[in-house]
Chains A and B, each alone.
Chain A
Amino acid sequence: MANSSIECPYHKEFHKQDAVQVIRELPFQPEKHPEYQSFGIELGLYLCKEEGGGYFLLGAIGSFQSGFVVAYSPIPPGLAMVIKIPSPAGAGDTDWQEQQLRELERRLRDAWKVYDRQLWLTEHWQEIEQKYPGKYIAVVAREIVAVGNSMKQAYQIASQNYPIQSILVEYVPASREEVQIAG
């Protein structure tokens, strides 16, 4: 695992072998994108020791293959969460570990969905501009599910069909003049 590094707080690279203890590791499996798993994405909780003493838990998602984190990578690079703990004993409680890991997983999954949807929109924005100029579009995951003349209208149409889904509503500027801003 010579390349198994992710960035961690305190501006150091974190190597898994530097952790005092690997608490838990899980493969991270974004829904609908099993192809990304081939990149070796992992989600983990690591007990680490600070230089000045003390411990922290690093919750991290990362690819443990070199060269994966590129400009247009669909994976948020180096996404991490730090949980400070008073002593390593705090990390010994398996229920607590599970709770922290699930919370981390939930946050990452939510962040992933937001990020993934934005990337999809950015990749398809020119096509969207041509199809829906001056309209509001409602997007669920990677799909435009409603179009309206107002934010409220697009949201209402979408929420009727996707009542429990996270719905993003975006305005599609109709012309270049609309987006020319000096500020």
Chain B
Amino acid sequence: MKLLEVPYREFHGIFLPVIGIEIGYKNNFVPTSALADTGATNSIFSAGVAEILGIDLKEAPSTYIHGVGGGMIVANFHPVEIRVAGLSIPARVSFSEELGIPFNILGHEGFLEYFKVCFDTARKKFTFEVE
């Protein structure tokens, strides 16, 4: 069943699959957007999103996450709920002050694993389906 078809967004001439979602904690939901990244094992969000949600990252377990080139950043994992296209997904995501890129990332664990995603980069759109 096709849930959603989303056009790529053009950033300075580069088209990327960015999707709008809502992320929530304790019934407080905020909209945000994130890059659907098949190369990411986990989802990671800017620490600013956690701040708006009222999540205290000092209380969340921290970990190191590998980036491109072997660099590592510190991130804190926290359970949240992600809403997209009317579906609610309980997920454990990470937040980091050191994201270093201008996007939140939606990776496999806790997000992409629930969907069949088709990236049609030739047509600058991507679709989400569920079984």
- A residues neighboring B (CB under 8 Å): 7-9, 11, 69, 71-73, 76-81, 104, 107-108, 110-111, 113-115, 117-119, 121-122, 125-126, 129, 150-152, 155, 166-171, 173, 175-176, 178-183
Contact = CB atoms under 8 A, between A and B. Distances in A.
Tell me which of A71, A76, A107, A181 has the highest count of chain B C-beta atoms within 10 A of its own C-beta. A181
B1 A78 contact: yes
Given A71-B123, A179-B102, A183-B37, A173 B86 contact: no
A71 B5 contact: yes
Given A76-B4, A110-B83, A179 B12 contact: yes
A118 B83 contact: no
Given A76-B4, A181-B101, A183-B39, A169 B52 contact: yes
A169 B48 contact: yes
B42 interface: no
Contacts, number: 130
Given A168-B31, A181-B68, A183-B40, A76 B11 contact: no
Nearest to A104: B86
B1 A166 contact: no
A24 B51 CA distance: 41
Tell me which of A108, A117, A166, A183 has the highest count of chain B C-beta atoms within 10 A of its own C-beta. A183
A71 B126 CA distance: 9
Nearest to B39: A183
A73 B20 contact: no
A179 B13 CA distance: 10
B49 to A, nearest CB: 7
26 contacts: A7-B2, A11-B1, A71-B123, A76-B3, A77-B2, A78-B2, A79-B86, A80-B1, A81-B87, A110-B86, A114-B22, A117-B20, A118-B20, A121-B33, A129-B12, A150-B48, A152-B52, A155-B52, A168-B31, A168-B32, A169-B52, A175-B12, A176-B11, A179-B103, A181-B103, A183-B39
